[in-house]
Structure formats: structure tokens, C-alpha cells
Copies of this chain bind each other. A is one copy, B any other.
Amino acid sequence: MTTSSPTVTTGAFPASRKIHVSGSRHKDIRVPMREIELHPSAGEQPLTVYDTSGPYSDPAVETDIARGLTPLRRNWILARGDVEPYEGRSVQPADNGFVSADRLTPAFPDLRRPLRAKAGRAVTQLAYARAGIVTPEMEFVAIRETQRRAAASQETRDGEDFGASIPGDITPEFVRDEIARGRAIIPANVNHPESEPMIIGRNFLVKVNANMGTSAVTSSMAEEVDKMVWAIRWGADTVMDLSTGRNIHNTREWIVRNSPVPIGTVPIYQALEKVGGVAEELTWEVYRDTLIEQAEQGVDYFTIHAGLRLHMVPLTVDRVTGIVSRGGSIIAKWCLHHHRESFLYERFEEICDICRAYDVSFSLGDGLRPGSIADANDAAQFAELETLGELTKIAWAKDCQVMIEGPGHVAMHKIKENMDKQIECCDEAPFYTLGPLTTDIAPGYDHITSGIGAAMIGWFGCAMLCYVTPKEHLGLPDRDDVKTGVITYKIAAHAADLAKGLPGAQARDDALSRARFEFRWEDQFNLSLDPDTARDFHDQTLPKDAHKVA
């Protein structure tokens, strides 16, 4: 069912078919979902589940990574009349890490001219929302979050939402309002029309990000693209491309063109490569050029560590693990060397102007996040968070969409303080955390140490959880590690959805529990997050057929 190179992983999930739900305001909207069929003895309708996997799991669609996905948002973007195509910057040797010609990965065959806002226009979902416009993207996510469940009036609400504003029905107007308030974002670069819109905010389903890194030298673009395809197959809502080194410009193009989920990056990584890896030599000009390069390619959100200010660096000297964020280390080194505020902080308004012209969302980075239980919730971490709150307001003033990154390593009793402080400092801008890991003593199992913290902070209000794989701290994740990380985080996100009392969240638990109680084994497998593993584990010890029918 799942094959890897030379093509990417495709195929339907067992007993599942892709369906598309149409919009009512915007008739050309087709929101993908997955319907899981149950055994006739169940006497139940098929269960509809949220589907991040894109056309790759739809046998009716033939994908070709050299063509890229259908640019489903292209017409919506152009119809707004506020963008224009332009020549764009030309690819430079530095963009691909000065790789020699014989080792250069091929350029994506069909490069579109990039789009950019017309002079003076803000083309962000936030700007539209504030103007009272319900975009097709907004209606899309309203339908997507609803997952075809019946009107909320039928439902028993059950949960503790800690002051969230979770509605009974998710209407396009509610989505617009949440975005207008800055409480949710739809990462949707105008140059990534292939993306299926998704929303990140505390009043919606908790989302999961998976990180990936491309190989510096690779024989097959399919292998690189498949890293993304594999992660979204198991449920990643966004993918961050954290590549460094060579060929990253060209490889990124292949990934974005083939990605149905938003792609995030940390642009300082590529900028650093362009200056030979020497942090002190970074300049605003190189960084700015990198932002534009990536914005033109269609990157949907940028991690920007603009909250790390010079005076905060000394706050880390007594830490057990200093500064563990890669971006944070780079900026801290630069600030100390030049003894001045970083260009990220000083030029923040100019960065906003760039993001506003493409609708690149901010993921304001936590460069001073704790790297150990010992360092959690310390003065350095919270000083930066306060600055991130200030920057949030600046970005909002510029009509830019913003989310805030959070830790990291935090014992359970200190997790809620992170969430509460983030809400307070950042006025409910979506929080996006890495774990947090709740203990440091289990390298090899940090998907679990962090899955505990992720479930809890998701419950408390965190909008997106950045996955951690079993290889965290030890090495590079392979395909199995990525799957394990994604599934663990889908568990955390779903446990959070249940605890928050998101309407309809329990439908899948209930369907699976009924199947379990009635010994409908096939239904149990098919309804689970990972049908392959469930079936395999069952078959390892129990008779093949006898236990599988109702």
C-alpha cells in the first residue's frame, strides 16, 4: 500500500475514500475529507475524519511531482485583484550553497512568475478579515474544521476550555472574526496556491507540525518530496523545512510545489549558509534577500527570532543548557559580537512589509527557550516572550498574521504558566510549542516525554504542536521515526481536542470503542490513527481470521 522512491507514497487508507465537500458561498471550494466505511453489522454511517494527506491518498488523482499539485487557490488569489506577477529575483549560486554544477539538483521544471501585492496593498488573510471579507480560504477551513458533523445543537458539550471561545458551529464568519482578532491564522502565501487552507488557533482543532530536512546531495527529488508526503500522510498539518547546506533552494521549490500543507522555514538558516556559516557576518541585506527568495517560492510561515534582544543574552549565563535554539544561538552570537540589537529586531517593520506583500505568516521564534527542565520558565525565556508580545502588536498593525513559538523542556507543573503568560503577553495570538518535554532522562523516547507535555499544553490552549521524534537529541529521524513522531503528536492533539470539549471530537473515539466492544476488528483497525500497525500487532499474536469478524 505504501511505496517509497522513485515515486512518492500514494494510496488510499484501508476502507477509506476521499470525499470533497463543496462551499456554499464560494462554489468552487472542494474541501477534502476521508470517509471510513464500517462493517455492515455496525449499522453505522461511515465516519468522516480530517484529512491532511492531500491528493496522494486519492486514487482518483494522478500526481506527478514534476508538475506539482493543482494550484487550487490560484483563481481565488487572482480574483482578489490585489497581486501582480513580477520577474522575481534570479537564483544565485549562494541560494543553493554554492554547489558545483554537477551536484546541483535540478530546478523545478515549470517555474511560475511570483506574485506580490500591488503597491500599498495588504494581501493577508488578516487584512481581508479586518475588512469584513470572508475569503474562500476562510470558508474552506470552516467546512474543514466542521468535518460534516451535524449542527451543534444536538451535541452534549463536555470539556474544560480554560477561557477559550469554542463555538457550537464553525461558520465562515466565525473564522473571519477569529482571524480579524489575531486569534487564528491561515498560513497561505500567495505563491503557494497548491495549499489546502488550514487554520491555527486555540478555538479550532489542535494542529501538528512535522519538521524535515532535505539531503545536501540527493539522487532523487522524489525522495525529498516524499519526506513531506510521508509526514502529511500520517497527519502533519504543516511541515517545516529546516534544511541547511547545499541545494536547498532548488529542493525547496520541489517541496512547495508538491505540498498541500503550509510550509514553514527558519530563513536565518539559509542566510547563514550564504555567509559561509559565520554568524557574525550575517547582514540585513543577506537576510532580507533570503526572505524575499523564500517568499517568492511560496513559504507560508517564517520562524523569526526577533524577540531575542541584546540585554537578554546575559540572562542565560547561569543556565544549565544555555541557548539551545539554533536560531537563538546564531542571533545571540551576532548580537554579542556587534554589541547591538539584531537586525531582526531593528528591521522588524521592514520584515512585516515583506510578509504583508506575500501573506507569509510570522512564527515568532523563541530563541531563548529552555533546553532542560532546569532552565524552564526562567527570566530569559519570559523576557523574550514579553518582547514577542510587543512584536505581535507591530505585526498586527501591519496586517500580518502571527503565531508565537514556545518551549521546549518544561516539567508538568510549569506548563500552564507558559500558556497563560503567552496568552497574556501576546493577546491570544496562536501559540505553537515544541513539546514541551516533561523530563530530560529519556533520550530515545523524547516523543513520549514531549507528547505528555504537548497534550497538556494543547488542552490549555496551544494551537499547534511541533512534533518530536524518538531520535531527538541523538540523530536524524528516519522514515519510521517521522511516522512515530507524527502519530504521537496526533494523539496529543486529539487528547487535547477532547479535553477542550471541541464539538464532535469524540465521534472517532466512540466509533472505535463501539467497534472494540462488538469485536469488529477490521473496524477497529480502520478507525485507528495507524491502521497498519494496529492490524500488524493483532496478527502477531492472535489467529488471523477468527477474531476479525463481528
Contact = CB atoms under 8 A, between A and B. Distances in A.
Interface of A is mostly: helix
Interface in A142-178: 158-160
A371 to B, nearest CB: 7
Interface string A486-522: 0110111011101111000010111011101100000
A537 B529 CA distance: 25
A234 B449 CA distance: 16
A488 to B, nearest CB: 6
A473 interface: yes
B438 A527 contact: no
A540 interface: yes
B444 A373 contact: no
Nearest to A451: B448
A439 B495 CA distance: 6
7 contacts: A159-B413, A320-B514, A374-B509, A412-B499, A445-B487, A470-B537, A471-B537
A205 interface: no
Contact of A475 (B411, B413, B496, B541): B541
Most buried by B among A438, A514, A533: A438
B372 A516 contact: yes
A533 B491 CA distance: 23
A471 B535 CA distance: 11
Given A441-B512, A534-B474, A412 B491 contact: no
Interface string A424-457: 0000000000000011111111011101100110
Given A442-B529, A509-B372, A412 B451 contact: no
B495 A452 contact: yes
A513 B445 contact: no
Interface string A407-425: 0010111000000000000
Contact of A540 (B452, B475, B491, B509): B475
A323 B517 CA distance: 10
A528 interface: yes
A504 to B, nearest CB: 13
B512 A440 contact: yes
Given A320-B514, A412-B499, A455-B438, A509 B373 contact: yes
Given A374-B506, A413-B159, A491 B321 contact: no
A112 interface: no
Contacts of A459: 412-413
Nearest to A529: B442
Interface in A519-550: 524-525, 527-530, 533-534, 536-538, 540-542
